[in-house]
């Protein structure tokens, strides 16, 4: 039990830490991705407002393509003067890119997520983008690749059709963030290369997951090392409780044996009497409770003398059911059985016989008047399934999880007059656990109780 409790503590602690890390890492990476999308949309917004180009982006410093020196020329000079004129922009302008960015970053209108000042004078030179204009029949009219080199004309048909089919004004095509708008009957698709930002976000995600896994491994190591100290007070208390039950049980056996012997002597000398019979019955019940407590304590300590052998479980169940038929008939209760033949099980035959006896005794004892009791034994996948079901007056579903608690009695189905102490199902659970199985209680209806045992075969 202490080992199970320690495993549960470790499992819950690790699940808690993993959940917190998942929420933290997930939130950070989602916000990181949203920042990438937000910045891309901000740049696309500027490009869209200015016809697919940055406004006045370095016009005073641009070099006309036809004036660019060629490496094949003898007078090629790597360093190019930045004051070369640009005939494409003969029209004078009073607005530079620096001024545009200052106005954009300092604007009082709402920005995505309330962020300002995220664009710099280097943004036009760091951004890679291209645009495609489509006619009314979605055929390609014009395109502009002057600010990108990774896209070819052969890709235009695929990307334009893909974007149009998506029917979204904004989205992603491969690593490109795009925006679409219509003007003069034509559709313009503007794409911004977000490959580096997405790659950085992906790298951050992978590293955050790796760091989280290493952190979880470290936490697991610490929890495993420290869980022993956390559980130690409970373990010591539990060990003392088990030792007390075992010692008290052994100490009670001697006076009970003497009392039983004295009753026999009193009957021989004075003859039988109602009072002596009552004392004998209560002594027998107390002796049975003592033996059960000692047995349960040994099962918890793993000291029960169990011999795991392969034996015919079908025959054991059939014989045990047969031994209860007379009692059920005497109490006007119907006992039926459905037992699959030739089922063998590797386990302790004595303990499993006790298990079946406890379940049948419990069923006969608490079955309502003229009620039905059914026992079934079948193979289910890789397990052996034993089901004992009986009619009761009523079952409270809330009490089902407590059926295997020690000294627990559900008022609707268990009472002291029936002679039970509420420890039988606890012993049954200990036996099943020792055989690496599982036992559960369920209520198919309000007036029936089912105990299901699954044993590995």
Give 272: exposed, middle or buried? Use CB within 10 Å, 0-12, 13-18, 19+.
Answer: exposed
Give 250: exposed, middle or buried? Use CB within 10 Å, 0-12, 13-18, 19+.
Answer: exposed
pTM: 0.52
Coil vs helix vs strand at 110: coil
Give 57: exposed, middle or buried? Use CB within 10 Å, 0-12, 13-18, 19+.
Answer: buried
| 300 close to 242: Cβ distance less than 8 angstroms | yes
CATH code of the domain occupying 309-456: 3.30.565.10
Q: Where are the domains of the chain?
A: 309-456
Q: How far apart are CA 325 and CA 336, in angstroms?
A: 9
Q: How far apart are CA 106 and CA 96, in angstroms?
A: 15
Residues of the chain with pLDDT under 50: 58-71, 73-94, 108-117, 412-416
The share of the chain scoring above pLDDT 90, in percent, equals 23
Maximum separation of any 2 CA atoms in the chain, in Å:
139
Q: How far apart are CA 177 and CA 166, in angstroms?
A: 13
Which backbone phi and psi does 374 adopt, to 5 degrees? Answer: -130, 140
Q: How far is CA 75 from CA 70, 84, 139, 258, in A?
A: 9, 17, 44, 124
At residue 269, the pLDDT reads 78
At residue 286, the pLDDT reads 80
At residue 204, the pLDDT reads 93
| 414 close to 366: Cβ distance less than 8 angstroms | yes
At residue 103, the pLDDT reads 61
H or E element at residue 256: helix 195-270
User: Tens digit of pLDDT for each residue in 279-335?
Assistant: 888 888 787 777 777 777 777 666 566 788 889 999 999 999 999 999 999 988 999
Q: Could you write out the DSSP letters of every residue in 145-201?
A: -TT-SS--GGGHHHHHHHHHHHT-SEEEETTEEEEEEEETTEEEEEEEE-HHHHHHH
Q: How far apart are CA 271 and CA 92, in angstroms?
A: 132
Q: How far is CA 451 from CA 215, 257, 407, 425, 448, in A?
A: 43, 35, 18, 10, 10
At residue 434, the pLDDT reads 86
Q: How far is CA 368 from CA 191, 296, 424, in A?
A: 77, 28, 19
User: Tens digit of pLDDT for each residue in 77-135?
Assistant: 443 333 444 444 444 444 555 565 566 556 544 443 334 445 667 778 888 888 888 88
């Amino acid at each position: 039990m202490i080992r199970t409790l320690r495993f549960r503590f470790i499992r819950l602690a690790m699940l808690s830490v993993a959940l917190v890390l998942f929420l933290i890492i997930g939130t950070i990476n989602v916000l990181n991705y949203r920042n990438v999308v937000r910045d891309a949309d901000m740049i696309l917004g500027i490009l869209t407002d200015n016809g697919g180009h940055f406004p006045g982006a370095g016009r005073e410093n641009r070099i006309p393509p036809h004036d660019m020196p060629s490496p094949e020329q003898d007078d090629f000079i790597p360093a190019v003067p930045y004051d070369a004129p640009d005939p494409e922009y003969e029209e004078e302008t009073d607005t530079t890119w620096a001024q545009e960015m200052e106005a954009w970053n300092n604007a009082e209108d709402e920005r995505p997520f309330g962020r300002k000042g995220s664009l710099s004078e280097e943004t036009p030179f760091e951004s890679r983008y291209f645009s495609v204009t489509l006619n009314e029949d979605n055929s390609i009219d014009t395109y502009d690749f002057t600010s990108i080199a990774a896209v070819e004309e052969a890709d235009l048909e695929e990307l334009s059709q893909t974007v149009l089919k998506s029917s979204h004004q904004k989205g992603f095509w491969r690593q490109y963030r795009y925006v679409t708008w219509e003007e003069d009957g034509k559709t313009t698709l503007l794409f911004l290369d977000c490959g580096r930002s997405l790659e950085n976000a992906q790298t951050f995600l992978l590293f955050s997951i790796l760091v989280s896994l290493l952190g979880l491994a470290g936490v697991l190591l610490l929890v495993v090392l420290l869980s022993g100290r956390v559980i130690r007070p409970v373990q010591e208390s539990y060990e003392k409780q088990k030792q007390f039950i075992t010692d008290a049980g052994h100490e009670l056996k001697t006076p009970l044996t003497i009392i039983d012997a004295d009753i026999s002597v009193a009957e021989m000398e004075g003859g039988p009497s109602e009072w002596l019979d009552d004392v004998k019955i209560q002594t027998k019940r107390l002796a049975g409770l003592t033996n059960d407590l000692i047995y349960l304590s040994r099962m918890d300590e793993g000291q029960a003398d169990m011999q795991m052998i392969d034996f015919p479980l079908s025959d054991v169940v059939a014989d045990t059911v047969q031994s209860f038929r007379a009692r059920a008939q005497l109490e006007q209760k119907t006992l039926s059985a459905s037992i699959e033949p030739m089922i063998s099980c590797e386990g302790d035959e004595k303990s499993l016989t006790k298990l079946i006896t406890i379940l049948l005794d419990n069923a006969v004892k608490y079955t309502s008047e003229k009620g039905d009791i059914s026992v079934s034994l079948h193979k289910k996948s890789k397990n052996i399934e034993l089901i004992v079901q009986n009619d009761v007056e009523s079952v409270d579903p809330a009490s089902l999880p407590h059926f295997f608690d020690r000294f627990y009695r559900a008022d609707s189905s268990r009472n002291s007059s029936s002679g039970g102490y509420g420890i039988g199902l606890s012993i049954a659970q200990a036996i099943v656990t020792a055989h690496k199985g599982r036992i559960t209680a369920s209520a198919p209806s309000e007036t029936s109780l089912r105990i299901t045992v699954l044993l590995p075969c």
